[in-house]
Amino acid sequence: GRLEAVTQQMGYHPQYLDSFLKTQHYLMHMDGPLPFDCRHYIAIMAAARHHCRYLVNLHVLQFLQAGGDPQWLRGLDYIPPKIRNLNEINKILAHRPWLITKEHIEKLLKISEWSWSLAELVHAVVLLAHCHALASFVFGCGCEQDEGLGGRGSLKTLSPGTQCFLEASNSCGQELLRISRKRSLDSCMELDSLRERMQQIHVETEGREEMRLLQQDWEEGEGQGWRGPCVTDSCAGLFPLADPIGEVTGATNLACYMQDPDFGYQDFARRDENQTQVFRVQDYSWEDHGFSLVNRLYSDIGHLLDEKFRMVDGLQSTAMAKRQGCEPSVFKRGIWNYIHCMFGIRYDDYDYAEVNQLLERVLKVYIKTVTCYPEKTNTEMFNRFWKQFKHSEKVHVNLLILEARMQAELLYALQAITRYMI
């Protein structure tokens, strides 16, 4: 299946992979408020915000398998208004979740015949947050450059035109048909069998990946062709620059799935002070507020999400922590709180001076890029940061990014829903 690259990366941590696949299976394939085709189309909309063709392709195939209308794949102008109305909160959650308000929620719940129910909206919000965060993982681990069926390599862009890139040629259509006849990995493979397979991948791939990276470093040499991503001027020169319109992002191909494409992340620290306030976890937290709300409106998803959050917190990062001279829990909390800080979420009991002490500049730039604008990430950035650590340790950082980002988006969305309900 098209998810193979993601499962191979997450397979370095098999227990987390098991929890992730259970959650994804429940979101996409089990009973819930939303029809199956709508779920996959919402996932397409979410992935398109970050130009993530890997996830778009995956959910296009599953959208068609679920009986979705192929006309919808021509873009937002061809879908029902009810789904198109999600575009605003999709855009806000993906880039500046602190801007979401109860008015956005009210608008979706009170639009005559196109109105959403609370249960449907919670399902949609969880899907959006899940796919935004997964897009960060896909780019952060280099899965976007995996051709899926043909192994590693650059994704090929199609010629620009009026048609959406998913309206394939005859040869591509035959390939889509062939793939669609396969059973979906996350919906049809038994988890017990998958666990055994991932254990095998974990053993076989670790050494192979390290040898590949060592060979690549040997061939390329140090310091050739380096330019920094446009994060901050002070960080220039750390990583190769991602091509903004080249083979990796292919933004023109996904334009039909989004509106206002220029809307992107903006540093929370530079916001208008009169416009929004810092989100204090002491006032609204996942454990005390978000979990119960989401579980009440979308049965059992809260338990699955909570298990996933706890699972990533329980992963070991001994080597990373030793390098920084601290306990693993301290190091992981520094990464988690740094990510939440970029979205305006603060913990009153945490000394944020620790972030600069624990996280090297190279790592901070990598985390910020993957979290806030993952489409600017490329595989070179993944290979270059912390060369001395195992591949599994790098994947662990990306799992922390995935879960911290997802929880941040959920906290803002669920708080807005709570305020609407009061």
Backbone φ and ψ for 265, nearest 5 degrees, come out as -65, 145
Collapsed DSSP state (helix, strand, coil) of residue 280? strand
Element spanning 293, H or E: helix 291-297
Pair 279, 345: CB distance under 8 Å: yes
d(CA 278, CA 408): 13
d(CA 294, CA 47): 22
Neighbouring CB atoms inside 10 A of 64's CB total 20
d(CA 90, CA 324): 37
Measured on CA atoms in the order 349, 352, 353, 355, is the torsion positive or negative? positive
Distances, alpha carbon 242 to alpha carbons 245, 374, 421, in Å: 9, 10, 43
d(CA 284, CA 275): 19
Tokens found for residue 291: 């979990």
Q: What angle do CA 300, 6, 246 make, to 5 degrees?
A: 125
Tokens found for residue 105: 């929620």
Pair 346, 278: CB distance under 8 Å: yes
d(CA 177, CA 286): 42
Backbone φ and ψ for 184, nearest 5 degrees, come out as -65, 135
Closest CA to 89 of 118, 61, 117, 124: 124
38, 52, 141, 372: the catalytic one is: 52
Pair 137, 399: CB distance under 8 Å: yes
Report CA Rg, the chain. 21
Q: Is 52 a catalytic residue?
A: yes
Q: Helices 87-95 and 391-421, interaxial angle, to 10°?
A: 130
d(CA 132, CA 43): 9
Residues labelled as active-site residues: 52
